[in-house]
Structure 1
């Protein structure tokens, strides 16, 4: 009997994945452990392994398709095995429902009394009147999610039965919705957003909760508008992390009141401590601690004193967090990722360094657990190693603060009547002025400067 290959569940926050590439083709023989395809969440790439040996009989979704977790994406079995009981959408039709006896005397969908499809929760299989099914379970649920009366849909399944493919074809221009978003639409009666913040524009629960009106569709593509440029031209499809980053950056700037405060900290102490740590005995296990680790530590210890910066802003609600869940932007081959050190304030300098390297290493390798890329309350982005003296970090919504760490440069300072050149580190703090006033932001930045300038004493606390 053919075995189903399901889209794996990756973390509690992941509702769907995009198929990046198929490494095996239909008809190929596969063994247990073979990589069938690579799939992508909005943050991480995952390899889907075969749990069975046999022949790859059917692939139900092409590359670039967004597929809900636990959805069947392929079948593995014996060559020539009958798989006609499975639809092109990956849906298994039960033998009882496909048999002639099950369809004898059944009424056509159009002949049945009208019934609103959205009255049935999407998590349950809707039943047509008189105990007759107007379509397959998944077709019924999808129709309910899209607000479609399934009895008005022409079916392409056995005996005209409506299957998921028919609903998908009818609603190809509709956005996809997460189960939580579907339930919220049913309960709230809010309009269906045109596009959401999930993978491929998937509408999530937060999109429904935070919007009273339908989201506006994105601007039409400009591809093909330029035809007079000489030389080779390459059109690169915006997808995966690049697409998600583009959408979130635009949304952040369009929907928040961003104010950036710039300051600098005397880096003498932090550079001295880094040098001392680098020359420490290997048995102490401190030599891998970096300047960035020290900044993470200083922020984690300073932020609890300024709870206004450790919040999420939702328009009419501010959610304040007791613990600091510190995100750190990481540039990877796949794009910008933000691993989150949960409860960062509980770590020692050595501990925060080790945890950070674990998370950052996974991000660079494309092996991050999606849950490790969620749940931040404040973010740090460090461009200092690239020589950037000042920049404007963009908020990672719904967070209200993000710290940009800049390069260390010599700055002329008058001390005791003499002008000396002292190494100073630039700091750029962006806040959402809707939720945070300038004074608390400036006070936090001032306190952080003191923490960095006295980092050796801070580690002793």
Structure 2
């Protein structure tokens, strides 16, 4: 009897998976445990293995199909066995695959648009010139060897020189490099054409070239699926279903920078060399949330759920898109433990090996764009969480010190919260407490 291969369930929150590619074809002989296909959830990628040894009798879904978990995606057995009873009846199932071969999509070749270049018209230069043409060229400072002649056999005559103007070396180089047309008259001394004169006619030349191109040129269509589809849906739902408000402030970063420097210079046996500024911010956030339970909460329609423990989500930029792993019971960890867990989860996200269950259950989120130089932004809530903290770059800020002004490095902080669940005053106090903890981080660590 043929053995069915099911789309496995990857975590309690995963309802479907997208088949990225099949590694086998119908008719191939496989062994138990061999990878049959690679699939993608909204959180990670993994391989589906053969559940038995035998011949691949049927592949029921093509690549790019979005298949519900626990559905039959393939059948393995002995050649000639009837697998009609195993074939799913839903519309997404592929009923066009012939036995012995799986449908392969032809690679999409993206054609680059042909860009029309703007070039000056070519001239026919023979080197022949009349005596009068030579005399006039000498008076006007025209290089007669560059003038195209209109006389018999391409001979340069007086009117050709009269129509020509001297061109400065800079203008000639610019015209050649950028394909600009040389005007008939220049604004330089003696009517010489300068580089500035070329720009006077450049807009017309560019407009003419643009008009000859096919609009809008080559485009690339990208299907919205996988992580991108999930992020898009959640962000839209978050903005439509919550009353979001963002508060911005900054914190004195001298203590954070000083502590980070100590960690970098500490001996290896101290075990703090890998602690980053982001780890420090996460640790300060956890300590602050302990004082403001109204922000360590979920807004669930007609009720608000506050959590005793902090399950901290943090945004990770991956090749597949934005992912938010959750550090569970982060409030029970030391800074060193927090740093190690952060790195473990971030690495798993980037490599696509993250456990889907590790991407849910957060009570508060931190997203850090400081390394990209962002000074202030508006984070979007990871609903139903009540708050999300945006961490910005460290920039010098003028601070009054008596009658003098001192420039002190400050870290930008942007807190978005659900105003339906929390008021502005506690949100502002949360940021004030964060400023205090970051400004004296070693005291925060000791406490």
* Aligned match of 1:62: 62
Distance (whole Å) between structure 2 residues aligned to residue 304 and residue 18 of structure 1 = 40
Distance (whole Å) between structure 1 residues aligned to residue 50 and residue 415 of structure 2 = 47
Distance (whole Å) between structure 1 residues aligned to residue 390 and residue 445 of structure 2 = 22
- The alpha-carbon deviation at position 246 of structure 1 amounts to 1.0
Distance (whole Å) between structure 1 residues aligned to residue 291 and residue 306 of structure 2 = 13
* TM superposition score normalised by structure 1: 0.68
* Aligned match of 1:217: none
Post-superposition CA distance 1:438-458 (Å, at most 9, x none): 001000111011111111111
Q: Is the counterpart of residue 71 in structure 1 residue 57 in structure 2? A: no
**1:57-456 equivalent positions in 2, closer than 5 A:** 57-86=57-86, 88-89=87-88, 165=89, 168=90, 229-456=215-442
Distance (whole Å) between structure 1 residues aligned to residue 273 and residue 80 of structure 2 = 60
Distance (whole Å) between structure 2 residues aligned to residue 275 and residue 317 of structure 1 = 45
Give every structure 1 segment of 4 or more consecutive aligned residues whose post-TM-superposition deviation is greater than 6 Å.
none
Distance (whole Å) between structure 2 residues aligned to residue 235 and residue 66 of structure 1 = 18
Distance (whole Å) between structure 1 residues aligned to residue 270 and residue 51 of structure 2 = 43
Distance (whole Å) between structure 2 residues aligned to residue 429 and residue 11 of structure 1 = 31
Distance (whole Å) between structure 2 residues aligned to residue 169 and residue 60 of structure 1 = 11
Q: How many residues align structurally?
A: 327
* Aligned match of 2:42: 42
Post-superposition CA distance 1:95-141 (Å, at most 9, x none): xxxxxxxxxxxxxxxxxxxxxxxxxxxxxxxxxxxxxxxxxxxxxxx
Distance (whole Å) between structure 1 residues aligned to residue 372 and residue 29 of structure 2 = 48
- The alpha-carbon deviation at position 169 of structure 1 amounts to 5.5
Distance (whole Å) between structure 1 residues aligned to residue 11 and residue 290 of structure 2 = 28
Structure index of larger Rg: 2
- The alpha-carbon deviation at position 271 of structure 1 amounts to 0.4
* Aligned match of 1:125: none
| Structure 2 portions without partners, runs of 5+ | 93-213
Say what the alpha-carbon RMSD is for the aligned residues.
1.8
* Aligned match of 1:185: none
* Aligned match of 2:12: 12
- The alpha-carbon deviation at position 26 of structure 1 amounts to 1.4
SS at match of 1:459: helix
| Structure 1 portions without partners, runs of 5+ | 90-164, 171-227
Distance (whole Å) between structure 2 residues aligned to residue 457 and residue 257 of structure 1 = 35
SS at match of 1:318: strand
CA 436–19 in structure 1, closer or farther in 2 if over 3 Å, else same: same
Stretch deviating more after TM superposition (8-17 or 356-365): 8-17
SS at match of 2:234: helix
- The alpha-carbon deviation at position 65 of structure 1 amounts to 3.0
Post-superposition CA distance 1:370-410 (Å, at most 9, x none): 11000001000000000000000000110110000000001
Distance (whole Å) between structure 2 residues aligned to residue 169 and residue 38 of structure 1 = 21
